[in-house]
Chains A and B, each alone.
Chain A
Amino acid sequence: MTERDMPKDPRVQALIKHAMSSKVTRRTLLASAGAGAVVAGLAACAPGASATITPAADTSAADKTLRWANWPLYIDVDDAGAYPTLVAFEAQSGITVDYQEAISSNEEFYAVVKDQLELGQDIGYDLMTLTDYFAARMVRRGVAQPIDMAAMPNVAANLSPGLANITYDPGRMYSIPWQSGLTGLGWNNADFPGGMTSVEELWDPLLKGKITLLNAWTDTIGLIMQSQGVNIDGDWGQDQFDAALEVVSKQVADGQVRAFTGNNYSEEFASGNITAAMVWSGDLFIMNTEAQSDKYGFAVPEKGGYLWSDNFMIPMGSAHKANAEELINYYYDPAVAAQVAAYVNYITPVVGAQEEMMKIDPALAANPLIFPDAATLARSHAFRQLTPEEDSAYSIAFEKAKVA
């Protein structure tokens, strides 16, 4: 049976995978029995290939708690360090929320919770906010609970039509967007008074060692592929990926790239180590607020930006699904969404938030980073759905290209 013969339905795929893996396990166990009981015991207790798992029983009605893993600086914070929208939610719903800034990289968060997640056990969080390519992996592997749209009238009414369907999760059965954002170019205005319009400007020899690219391959390769004229949402394959990767390898070998970063490019900018970088839209706004001037500029490249979302997902092992749905529903109230967007400055997926924002701060309602204009959105794309083989091969190839 070749991979091409695999049925398309993920559930059936999981069953086949399970059957295949148990066959291998039996042989392995026999082999290791010869090597001693200790070895066999180890082989048995280590996690193997995933079996089909089912949602944990929901105890939300009796247990009014919720544990939410989110990214740093990704919710509204007041001067006292509290989260105003979350406090209001707790008061209104009676649910105690344990909010943790636990995710600073999809990869590392996943690596930490992976074993429990795949066995359907409690991972310590009831709600996690993962970026598209990881959300896709969760859906594909069947480790996310189906979310009940009927329990979330605000989501049904206000989810931005452009996000209502996504290739990896048609109909949004497992994932609901928390915030969206654009990957583009960021620069220090003192060095680039005219701004930047294309990815190629980053490869200027004058910027040797003064730029950073992003850690996640989807961001960096997504921008480079588009600069090479590839429609990342359309039909592309290994050749187009390789052409983009070649650019990364060359720039790394030439010493052009100072580092690959996550949010910490803000520190590199602040200490003068870099003057331009691939960045996420909302961060530049916060950096300007911190610098108390328009020190930094941001633009979506002419040839195309990368549009991503971070998505609410409920792991299979969570026993608080109804509580999680109540929280998601709450954040889809346009007034609440506007309050969050006013702080985090990413693109809100909630229709009606712009009108609510007019009441909070008209300047922000006109901010193209929070409410991008049609032209910007038209040249911003997400990746088409990736096969598991592509996901794995591209992640590995990019990780290896990041070092000289």
Chain B
Amino acid sequence: MAFAAFASSAQAVDAAPRKSSKVALVLLAPGLAYLALFFLTPLIALILTSLQAPALYGDMGEFVYAFRWENYVSVVNEYGDTFLRSFGYALIATVAALLVSYPIAYFIGVWARKWPVVQAVALILVIAPFFISFLLRTLAWKQIFSDDSWTMETLKALSILGPDAHFTGTPFAVIFGLTYNFIPFMTLPIYTTLERLDTRYLEASGDLYARPSTTFFKVTLPLSMPGIVSGTLLTFIPASGDYINASGDFLGGPGTQMVGNAIQSNFLVILQYPAAAALSIMLMAVILVIVAIYVKRSGTEDLI
């Protein structure tokens, strides 16, 4: 179970008091009420919607409560490849973000320890993009890579791209956008674990004649696993449900539809609420399964 893995990876918590006290229940009540109202109720409503059937003689967007589980079958048949594409894009973006973020996090968390000012400035640079809406930043990339931009002209002049190539509207652009948008979510958790890395371990490893690469793979990487796991989760989960980057108005095109776009169009354009709800539930379920397997495999319970 994913949540069990999360719990055991956290710092050791005092064992729960054996006696159940009324006070504890009262203190829990607001939290539970909040969860019931804002998590459970919408979830139940979503499940009920996903099972609705079209109303008899109904107009577009009119549905009645039913138990039409076939909705799920048709959604899987129709959007199976969209699901694969979403998870494929999210996976590539997660790996790319990890490859970019790890050196950044290592630089800030380990190398720059001696210069707190450098550390602070670098951290601000990582967080700074959050001060601008990510919609604007994504649109800016669309401009930067538009067909007449000097970026594209340069890439074409260097023969990196063919003369008729374009960047926006391609899967590559969508994955680029996803990677870019989630880099801070990857960098910060890795930074927090690396910042606590005891460098004496690295010295010990060197004293035992380990090559730097061995030290990295046997000491540094395992010690930073908790940060990598939370970073990849924080990237992969929202990236698989993202619908901005892949939308035709931003970096995507007709060939890059992700599940989020399918949900958006079913919900807002063609008013197929049951299909949209079924897609959302499927997305949630598949992510839960993937994350559960991942967390189990990555063995975070053995770390920290």
Which residues of A are in contact with B by a Cβ distance under 8 Å? 3, 6, 13, 16-17, 20-21, 24-25, 28, 31-32, 38-39, 42-43, 46, 48-50, 105, 107-108, 111, 114, 137, 140-141, 208-210, 252, 255, 257-261, 264, 271-273, 388, 391-392, 395-396, 399-400, 402-404
- Selected from A264, A388, A396, the residue in CB contact (under 8 A) with B59 is A388
Kindly report which residue of chain B lies nearest to residue A248, judged by CB atoms.
B254
B149 touches A48 (CB 8 A): no
Q: Which residue of chain B lies nearest to A47 when distances are taken between CB atoms in the complex? A: B62
The complex places the Cα of A260 from the Cα of B247 at a distance, in Å, of 10
Please measure, in the bound complex, the distance between the C-alpha atom of A388 and the C-alpha atom of B169, giving whole angstroms.
34
A272 engages B257 (CB within 8 Å): no
Query: Which among B45, B66, B254 is the interface contact of A402 at CB below 8 angstroms?
Result: B254
Chain A min CB distance to B64 (Å): 5
Q: How far is the CA of A251 from the CA of B184 in the complex (A)?
A: 38
Q: Which chain A residues border B57 with CB–CB below 8 Å? A: 3, 6, 13, 16-17, 20
Contact of B41 among A13, A42, A49 (CB under 8 A): A42
Report yes or no: A24 in contact with B255, Cβ–Cβ below 8 A: no
Question: Which of A13, A42, A403 has the largest number of chain B CB atoms within 10 A?
Answer: A403
Contacting residues, chain A, for B58 (C-beta < 8 A): 17, 21, 49
The reply to whether B265 and A46 form a contact with Cβ atoms under 8 Å apart is: no
18 more A-B contacts (CB under 8 A) besides A111-B267, A273-B148, A403-B257? A6-B57, A21-B64, A24-B55, A24-B64, A25-B64, A31-B67, A42-B41, A46-B48, A46-B49, A49-B55, A137-B59, A252-B255, A258-B166, A258-B169, A258-B253, A271-B142, A271-B146, A391-B60
List the B side residues contacting A16 at CB < 8 Å: 57
Find the residue from A3, A31, A210, A392 having the highest chain B CB count within 10 A.
A392
Complex interface: stretch among B194-202, B222-230, B268-276: B268-276
A272 CA to B166 CA, complexed, in Å = 10
What mask results when residues 131 to 169 of chain B are scored 1 for a CB within 8 Å of chain A, else 0? 000000000001100111100000000000000101011
Whole-angstrom CA separation of A261 from B248 in the bound complex: 8
Docked complex Cα distance between A209 and B267 (Å) = 28
Decide if B59 touches A399 in the complex (CB within 8 Å): no
Residue ID in chain A nearest B255 by CB atoms: A404
> Hey, which chain A residues are within 8 Å of B265, CB to CB?
399
Query: In the complex, what residues of B have CB within 8 A of residue A107's CB?
Result: 268-270
- Bound-complex Cα distance A242 to B262 (A): 22
